[in-house]
A and B are shown apart, each in its own frame.
Chain A
Amino acid sequence: MGRAQTIEIPRYYEVMRISHSAASMSTMLTIEQQGGMALLQLSGRWTVEHLHDIEHQLQAVTLLNNHVLQVNCTALEQADLSAMWLLRTTLFRCEQLGMDVSYPHGMPPHFVFLNELDQRTLSNPVNPEATLLWPEQVAATLGRHAVALGHNAIGHLDHLGRMIHANLYALRHPKYLRKASIVRHTYEAGIQALPIVAMIAFFVSVIIAYIGASQLRDFGAGIYTVDLITIGVLRELGVLLTAIIVAGRTGSAYAAEIGVMQLNDEVDALKSIGLDPIEVLVVPRVLGLLIALPLLTIVADAMGMAGGALLSNWLLDISIPQFVARVQDALAPTTFWAGLIKAPVFAILIGMIGTYRGLQVRGSSRELGRLTTSAVVESIFMVIFTNAIFAVIFVELKF
């Protein structure tokens, strides 16, 4: 083993050498043809590093049109399983093509072992989808997505039902209301989000006021900037911005937290102790958000008004007392409530989608990432969509 043997090679009239690159010098397949017979001479190192060359060199073998194929491996320096497997697969194909393969100088290395392995019958892994025609593939994909969409909708409804049930139950039986947990989630979703919510509300309001002022001033209606800010911030922007920030911050956190618990079998552990994961994990989060989101909205409203007031003072020379007086004129009794009333609805949507996606995680880290992403995307979409519905309803009700 391991030594290259020099053997006498009879002079055939046709000698074909195949070599593809410098690396193939170490892996050599020489094919010598004589009439109906071809002699395959293997030499050098047939190892996994040279598989690329081996693959190319073996391709030529199946193209031979001889009836008899003799394989000689006595000059092989080194051979490993992968290379021999490829050789064997190629020779099998030759046999299927009607060639007669023989090994007059003994079996190539590893063939005995591979034959033994092969008694457990196996074929190449075939991806069933690859065999479909493209119209079938399109139909299959469409169908799969439609079914998934249906399951998704049913799942959300199912989760909403369970959540409402658990919430009502907990509210009627305060023993099951996990107060420490609710406080923690109120703190994490509310207090910790204060800086970012306040800052974004302030700057967005400044932008609105600036654009409004520069347009309205041309008509000599600069004072109406105050109306724009008041109605814009209180009715729409304050609550919408807050909900979007919270969806990004807290919705993703809920999905990821519960998702990792799901991966660690913690959710199953809860169930086995006899606790309902909806009650333990979902209710405190949703209730925490239900407390935090309206409070955050009020802060966002206040910061938005402050931003508007500062910019009006600086750009339009409206003093703060003037601004306050004008705001009181612009305010209808419902303006503030039309914004705030939406906050609990958004809180339930965000909490529900985040926790539902988290509970859906199964098995792999990729699932966790995918479902966390969809929790955020769906929450933001649902927040904006619901906001549009509210707008229509409020207009119809003249609210």
Chain B
Amino acid sequence: MDQLTPIVSLRNIVNRFGEQLLHDNVSLDIRAGEVMGIVGSSGSGKSVLLRTILGLHKPNSGQVLIEGADITSMSQRALIQVKRRYGVTFQHGALFSSLTVAENIQLPLREYLTLSQATLDQLTALRLEMVGLPVSAATKYPAQLSGGMIKRASLARALALDPQLLFLDEPTSGLDPISAAEFDQLVSYLQRNLKLTVIMITHDLDSLMSTCDRVAVLVDRKINVDTLVGMMSHPHPWIHDYFHGVRARKLTHSSDQGAAHGT
């Protein structure tokens, strides 16, 4: 497949809740193999946009193309086929609390495939190994895990069916900076080695900096896409504040250096 063919493509998405217009003709192309960060203020509709791409929310108008197929006009049966090709992690992990970590990871495999328990155990061990969880975590329940382990277990479940497309909703929220940096490294590492396409919603400027190839900013019901360096000089006041605010100063500093090295 051509590297520049979009794997996910939003065409003129309109989302409206009552009087409130959330997305006004939003279009976005995500290329295979890239990491796209989605940012925006609280209430700007990032989560609704993600739910629209996932097929969990039907937009008022517009199309969502995943690998060229429009999921907004698809039958439920066809949509299920699309859904098993991507992995999602939710903000709070959304691990099934009545299942162990191993059972959580095996759930998609059991649902779609008929495999022996030995094979399932082997595949579970692989997923745990991939996300850096110890074997002892397999028999634990989500309530017994730390925040960082929940995020990792959730990622392991998202990767259960070897998806090419991965959606992460605030993957580093609620983690300490060290765990967050480790999780970013993990995502980058897996993305490079498995040639994944990653779409992540994040507020973590460090995450954007370290993992994302391009950034999509949702502001004023529209989407602006550029590389991180390009975003730095975007004229829109909110975007300017976002990347030049107090919390962003350190980032601005280091990315200036990065840009200098790059040129």
Contacts and interface: CB of A to CB of B under 8 A. Distances in A.
Contacts of B119: 51, 55, 86
A155 interface: no
A222 B83 CA distance: 73
Interface in B91-121: 97-98, 102, 109, 112-116, 118-119, 121
Interface stretch (A10-18, A274-282, A361-369): A361-369
B216 to A, nearest CB: 28
Given A48-B113, A81-B126, A85-B123, A125 B102 contact: yes
A152 interface: no
A75 B155 CA distance: 31
Contacts of A49: 112-113
A52 B124 contact: no
Nearest to A2: B1
Contacts of B115: 51-52, 55
A122 interface: yes
A122 B122 contact: no
B241 interface: no
Q: Is the interface of B mostly helix, strand, loop or mixed?
A: helix
Contacts of A365: 97-98
A134 interface: no
Nearest to A119: B129
Contacts, number: 77
Contacts of B125: 122-125
Contact of A86 (B98, B122, B129): B122
A328 interface: no
B114 A125 contact: no
Contact of B135 (A80, A89, A125): A125
B257 to A, nearest CB: 30
Contacts of A363: 97, 141-144
A219 interface: no
Contacts of A81: 126, 130, 162, 194
B128 interface: yes
Contacts of A82: 123, 126, 162
B132 interface: yes
B193 interface: yes
Interface residues of B, number: 33
B139 A125 contact: yes
A371 B102 CA distance: 24
A364 B98 contact: yes
B130 A117 contact: yes
B141 A47 contact: no
A172 interface: no
B225 interface: no
Interface string A80-92: 1110011001000
Nearest to B1: A2
B48 interface: no
Interface in B170-204: 193-194
A231 B130 CA distance: 72
A124 B136 CA distance: 10
Interface residues of A, number: 28
Nearest to A51: B113
A101 to B, nearest CB: 18
B129 A124 contact: no
Contacts of B138: 125
A86 B134 CA distance: 20
Contacts of B126: 81-82, 85, 114, 117
A172 B30 CA distance: 69
Contacts of A396: none
Contacts of A125: 102, 121, 124-125, 128, 135, 138-139
Interface in A350-367: 362-366
B161 interface: yes
A89 B142 CA distance: 28
Contacts of A127: 139
A113 interface: yes
A118 interface: yes
B113 A120 contact: no
Given A48-B162, A51-B119, A125-B102, A118 B129 contact: yes
A86 B144 CA distance: 30
B122 A89 contact: yes
A82 B161 CA distance: 8
Contact of B116 (A55, A120, A362, A364): A55
A54 to B, nearest CB: 9
Nearest to B194: A81
Nearest to B119: A55
Given A120-B129, A364-B143, A366-B97, A48 B161 contact: yes
A116 B118 CA distance: 23
Nearest to A55: B119
Contacts of B102: 125
Contacts of A55: 115-116, 119
Contacts of B130: 81, 117
A366 B141 CA distance: 11
Contacts of B134: 122
B123 A364 contact: no
A304 to B, nearest CB: 43
A123 B129 CA distance: 9
A120 B97 CA distance: 28
Contact of A124 (B114, B121, B193): B121
18 contacts: A48-B113, A81-B162, A113-B194, A117-B126, A120-B129, A120-B132, A122-B128, A124-B121, A124-B125, A125-B121, A125-B128, A125-B139, A362-B143, A363-B142, A363-B144, A364-B142, A364-B143, A365-B98
Interface of B: 97-98, 102, 109, 112-116, 118-119, 121-126, 128-130, 132, 134-135, 138-139, 141-144, 161-162, 193-194
Interface of A: 47-49, 51-52, 55, 80-82, 85-86, 89, 113-114, 116-118, 120, 122-125, 127, 362-366
Top 3 closest pairs, chain A to chain B, by CB: A363-B143, A366-B98, A364-B97
